Amino acid sequence: SGAGLRLSYDRTTVVDGAGLELRRGAVTALLGPNGSGKSTLLRSLARLHRPDAGTVRLTDDEPGGAGHDALALHPKDFARRVTLLSQSRPTPSGVTVRDVVAYGRHPYRGRFRSADPDGPRAIAHAMEVTGVTAMAERGVDELSGGELQRVWLATCLAQDTGVLLLDEPTTYLDLRYQVELLDLVRDLAGVHQVAVGVVLHDLNQAAAVADHVVVLHAGAVRASGPADEVLTSELLTDVYGIHVDVYTHP
């Protein structure tokens, strides 16, 4: 969870006083126009953007647990708990899909690549659920943008964390894989009790997949709650600056 977060670039504040809570077993979608601060807010939860003010905490599973200051955790300890699929990643050359997915096991290895007994199972499972097993021995520099996006998602899943952060994960995916990825996100939350935070541009996708939505505008949280309560025509028209109608599919 994050509270009272103020986030800046080059001394220019882009998010101020924002907060959100990700819960196990639930999908939280961050929405808002370009420049609203949603990706920056997500990156702050992944410790990739240090806040000028506010707190980021990981709570304990035990009832009444005090939790941990996320910024104070050792990097490997944090990486066993939280993973992020970001918008932009370099494409490595000379490595296979299986090699890239195996990167997700780095937090579980010692300084000298000591044994990771659960690694093979986690890697195989991550490739299976993302549909990349058949391309395991292909070089990642041979893949299409959509295939590569699925490989990076598999890398995140191999990391086997309780918190999964996704920044516009449907980018480069055709319609079939967009639907399959969102179905996978729902399963990760509902079946495997992962806490999922996802930045989406597509309001229909957000309404369909999310248990909770957070709408940002100009660096502030404008509304937060269940999709059917938050995604109103009045709010979206104001936030996006264009008339938006909202209908509920019967």
pLDDT over 70 at 63, yes or no: no
Top pLDDT among 29 and 91 is at 29
pLDDT over 80 at 66, yes or no: no
Choose among 117, 150, 116: nearest CA to 133. 150
pLDDT over 80 at 110, yes or no: no
pLDDT over 70 at 31, yes or no: yes
Choose among 234, 235, 208, 210: nearest CA to 221. 235
Query: How many C-alpha atoms does 103 have within 13 Å on its Cβ side?
Result: 15
Compute the mean pLDDT over every residue in the chain, rounded to the nearest whole number.
Answer: 88
Choose among 55, 159, 149: nearest CA to 116. 159
The strand pair at 27-31 and 212-217 is best described as parallel
What pLDDT score was predicted for residue 114? 67
Choose among 38, 29, 14: nearest CA to 230. 29
For 209-233, how does the pLDDT look when each residue is reduced to its tens digit (9 = 90+)? 999 999 999 999 999 999 999 999 9
d(CA 14, CA 214): 16
Q: What is the pTM of this model?
A: 0.88
d(CA 32, CA 125): 33
What pLDDT score was predicted for residue 89? 77
What pLDDT score was predicted for residue 210? 96
pLDDT over 70 at 240, yes or no: yes
Quickly state the pLDDT bin for 113 (edges 50, 70, 90): low
pLDDT over 80 at 97, yes or no: yes
pLDDT over 60 at 65, yes or no: no
Top pLDDT among 168 and 2 is at 168
Q: Report residue 25 as tokens.
A: 């077993």
**Residue 33: CB atoms within 10 Å:** 15
Quickly state the pLDDT bin for 60 (edges 50, 70, 90): low
- Write down the H helix ranges in the chain: 38-45, 75-79, 97-102, 119-129, 145-158, 175-190, 203-209, 227-230, 233-240
**For the chain, what is the radius of gyration of the CA atoms?**
18
The strand pair at 82-85 and 12-20 is best described as unpaired
Q: Report residue 243 as tokens.
A: 């008339």
Top pLDDT among 11 and 137 is at 137
d(CA 14, CA 41): 9
- From the number of C-beta atoms within 10 Å of its C-beta (0-12, 13-18, 19+), residue 3 rates as middle
For 141-199, how does the pLDDT look when each residue is reduced to its tens digit (9 = 90+)? 999 888 888 899 899 999 988 999 999 998 878 888 888 889 989 988 998 899 999 99
For 194-215, how does the pLDDT look when each residue is reduced to its tens digit (9 = 90+)? 999 999 999 999 999 999 999 9
pLDDT over 90 at 116, yes or no: no
What pLDDT score was predicted for residue 241? 93
